[in-house]
């Protein structure tokens, strides 16, 4: 009973994190379309701010542990690798994939992270994929493709640069379910995320210089900026990784496909988009996957 409850909590945390990512995609789109905020400006600001929030929470919980993590030389190569791979690479490669293709193609390419994680898990455990994992990956991938493309496979644009950036994004997203595990077990979710986001943001800071070109936000705009930092980044990563530590890398990666579902739903509610039959079919496949792996 305790193990079942632990798994259920992990499932809910992971799905909620994916949902916040999906809403964050819509919020970011509004910031870019209504306030002319550049993608790199948004990425830089939310990485630095979210990193500071993570570390502030960690300091309130256990300041000595934060100091121990910062001064542990053996952990720093891991912190740097996590920062460059699961934060910076994901941000830059996803935006670049969209630039060279389109948002639907970029989302489909990103969902290939399911295959990367499955291969890694099977190689680590020296086994073949189990049938629920295989079926879950197939359902999640098809569901994501239906939602991202509307069922029109011809809308997938794959120039070489777009393909390479999309695969880099899939790799970085897969690494998110694998690379931070040992460091989170050692130092905790808040410390690892705080250092990773702050390092990534500081790398972007001299390039983006967000203070030099602040968009003309009104009260609504600043509220959206606050959400993309607190809910869409801090909350999403915290919940997703907390859930992943309970359900495992493979399940977390499949449950992360809640992101395109919530992105579509929030677009319908907020931006007046309309559900297409392919959206509903994609939702059904992803929901089936969630029930299957639970």
In terms of Cα–Cα distance, which of 214, 229, 253 is closest to 86?
A: 253
- Report the pLDDT value the prediction gives residue 271, as an integer from 0 to 100: 64
How many domains would you assign to the chain? Answer: 1
The pLDDT, as a whole number, for residue 47 is: 94
Q: Which two tokens stand for residue 277?
A: 């039959």
Sole residue written with tokens 């969902």: 111
Q: Which residues in the chain land under pLDDT 70?
A: 1-7, 102-104, 259, 270-273, 291-294
The 10s digit of each residue's pLDDT in 200-219 is: 999 999 999 999 989 999 99
Mark residue 215 as left, alpha or beta (left: phi above 0; alpha: psi -120 to 50; beta: remaining).
beta
Residue 152, Cβ density class (10 Å: 0-12 exposed, 13-18 middle, ≥19 buried): exposed
Q: pLDDT value at position 2?
A: 44
CA dihedral (74, 53, 168, 208) in degrees, to 10, reads -110
pLDDT computed for residue 8 by the predictor:
79
Expressed as residue numbers, the domain containing 43 is 2-293
The closest alpha carbon to 210, from 218, 219, 199, 201, belongs to: 201
Is this structure's pTM higher than 0.85?
no
Contact (CB, 8 A) for 170 and 109: yes
CA 202 vs CA 46, 168, 205: distances in Å:
11, 21, 5
């Amino acid at each position: 009973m305790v193990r079942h409850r632990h798994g259920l909590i992990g499932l809910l945390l992971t799905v909620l994190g994916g949902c916040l990512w999906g809403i964050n995609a819509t919020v970011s789109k509004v910031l870019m379309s209504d306030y002319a905020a550049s993608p790199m400006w948004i990425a830089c600001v939310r990485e630095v701010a979210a990193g500071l929030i993570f570390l502030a929470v960690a300091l309130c919980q256990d300041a000595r542990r934060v100091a121990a993590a910062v001064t542990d030389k053996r952990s720093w190569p891991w912190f740097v690798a996590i920062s460059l791979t699961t934060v910076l690479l994901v941000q830059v490669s996803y935006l670049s994939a969209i630039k060279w293709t389109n948002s639907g193609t970029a989302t489909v390419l990103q969902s290939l992270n399911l295959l990367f994680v499955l291969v890694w898990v099977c190689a680590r455990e020296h086994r073949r994929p189990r049938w629920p994992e295989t079926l879950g990956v197939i359902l999640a991938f098809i569901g994501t493709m239906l939602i991202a493309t509307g069922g029109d496979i011809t809308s997938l644009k794959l120039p070489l640069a777009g393909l390479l950036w999309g695969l880099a994004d899939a790799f970085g997203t897969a690494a998110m379910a694998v690379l931070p595990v040992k460091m989170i077990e050692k130092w905790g979710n808040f410390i690892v995320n705080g250092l990773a986001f702050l390092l990534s943001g500081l790398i972007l800071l001299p390039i983006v210089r967000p203070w030099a070109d602040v968009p003309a936000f009104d009260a609504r705009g600043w509220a959206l900026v606050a959400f993309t930092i607190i809910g869409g980044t801090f909350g999403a990563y915290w919940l997703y990784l907390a859930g992943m530590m309970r359900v495992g890398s493979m399940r977390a990666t499949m449950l992360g496909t809640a992101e395109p579902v919530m992105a579509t739903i929030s677009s319908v509610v907020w931006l007046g988009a309309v559900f297409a039959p392919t959206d509903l079919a994609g939702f059904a496949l992803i929901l089936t996957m969630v029930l299957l792996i639970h």
